[in-house]
Amino acid sequence: MADETQSHKDGHSHELQAGTQAEQQALRIGGLSRTMPRDFTISLNTKGGTDQQLLNPGTQRRQSMRGFEEQYVDIIDYIVRITHRIWEEKDIGYIYDTYRHNSRVTDDYGLQYGRDKIVADTIHTVNAFPDIRLYADEIVWAGDDQVGFFTSHRTMIIGHNTGYSRYGPPTGKKIVVWCIANCTALENEIFEEWVLYNNSSMLAQLGFDLRANAREMGNQAKLDGLQDPRFGEAERLPGQGKPPHLPSKRSDGFDVEDFIRRAYHYIWNWRMLGKVDDAYASQLRFHGPTNRTYYGRGAYKSFILSMLAMFSDGMLEIDDMYWMGNEREGFLTSVRWHFVGTHRGMGVYGVPTGRQISMWGITQHRILSGAITEEWMLFNEFEVMQQIYRD
């Protein structure tokens, strides 16, 4: 079983403890501790790829998995094989065995509650893309079989639109779209999931007009005053003050969570883009929604500037994060975050509308030698466009 460590959820830094692998740091989640793998013993790469894992998953347990079906040898095996069985083998009813009856799934369209809704949505998508294939690119995981396994599954989706979808009749066109799904599972059942598909890219590949579709679907939402996301203001500053500073670092050495929290807070909330040079490698590769692909820190700074120019009062908060790895081999992280702001500046979303938007996203990082070398960011861009373009 992989060596593991833990961290505090609220503290922006942690005291590293020396000694055996049983000595851990503490991250509190609902009063329970969550462990972080300190190496890549249990990882997607060690399995030689998804196809090798599906052909020869093994039979011996590689970690404790109380309550999970005996066929699964570890949490990576569980995620890859249930995804394959449900989506590619089309055993959609297997969702009844692998999702809790009151599962909560949050996606681009909001909260989907209950297992039956997940079954219905899966049938809808597979019907729209009957030859759908899902290729796992990365799975970041943490936790255990006591508090739950937390997984961040980055996947490439390929298929042809030969069936009806929520967007209209079949187009016959091929899509290549990636997504990130963050799940929490206990005793063979996923009970919470945050999933983002690169929907804006998919719609563009299908030949749709993004702005027209966003306006149409935004108007269909029919929000009343109590549900209007434009209400209030983005609370980034305490009155006329300045953004708060984070507490001083409390430990020596490289602290993954402290590193990420400081980078996000000072780059996005303090607008100190010079911090990009401290946190990111010069050869940074960035992959973002709607097929944004950048190389280097300069292009990444321009992307952040474009977002802050459109949403000048924007505020970013980290909702959850976990990671795996160590200083020698590097780290893989998963960060779920939320951003609110008011559309007051020019940019890719057109003339300012003055509307407040709510954006949430999931970002995975690869960290080597104390710097982010690659970043995969998805946020609900098509839903943000609906908030902006609706009448």
Domains (range + CATH), the chain: 4-216 (3.10.450.50), 225-389 (3.10.450.50)
pLDDT reported for residue 50 = 76
pLDDT reported for residue 176 = 97
**pLDDT tens by residue, the chain, 391 residues:** 444 444 443 333 333 333 333 333 334 344 457 899 999 999 998 887 777 778 788 889 999 999 999 999 999 999 999 999 999 999 999 999 999 999 999 998 888 899 999 999 999 999 999 999 999 999 999 999 999 999 999 999 999 999 999 899 999 999 999 999 999 999 999 999 999 999 999 999 999 999 999 999 888 876 655 566 556 677 777 777 888 899 988 778 899 999 999 999 999 999 999 999 999 999 999 999 999 999 999 999 999 999 999 999 999 999 999 999 999 999 999 999 999 999 999 999 999 999 989 999 999 999 999 999 999 999 999 999 999 998 8
SS3 readout for the chain: CCCEEECCCCCCCCCCCCCCCCCCCCCEECCEECEEECCCCCCCHHHCCHHHHHHCCCCCCCCCCCCCCCCCCCHHHHHHHHHHHHHHCCCHHHHHHHEEEEEEEEECCEEEECHHHHHHHHHHHHHHCCCCEEEEEEEEEEEECCCEEEEEEEEEEEEECCCCECCECCCCCEEEEEEEEEEEEECCEEEEEEEEECHHHHHHHCCCCHHHHHHHHHHHCCCCHHHCCCCCCCCCCCCCCCCCCCCCCCCCCCCHHHHHHHHHHHHHHCCCCCHHHHHEEEEEEEECHHHCEEECHHHHHHHHHHHHHHCCCCEEEEEEEEEEEECCCEEEEEEEEEEEEECCCCCCCCCCCCCEEEEEEEEEEEEECCEEEEEEEEECHHHHHHHHHCC
What is the pTM for the complete model shown? 0.89
Let me know: does 48 contact 55? Beta carbons within 8 Å: no
pLDDT reported for residue 229 = 59
Number of Cβ atoms within 10 Å of the Cβ of 39: 16
CA distance 297 to 277: 7
pLDDT reported for residue 223 = 61
pLDDT reported for residue 4 = 47
1 contacts: CB under 8 Å, gap ≥ 6: 41, 42, 62, 63, 64
Positive or negative: CA dihedral 339, 345, 348, 351: positive
Angle at 296 between CA 385 and CA 361, to 5 degrees: 30
Taken as a whole, the chain contains a residue count of: 391
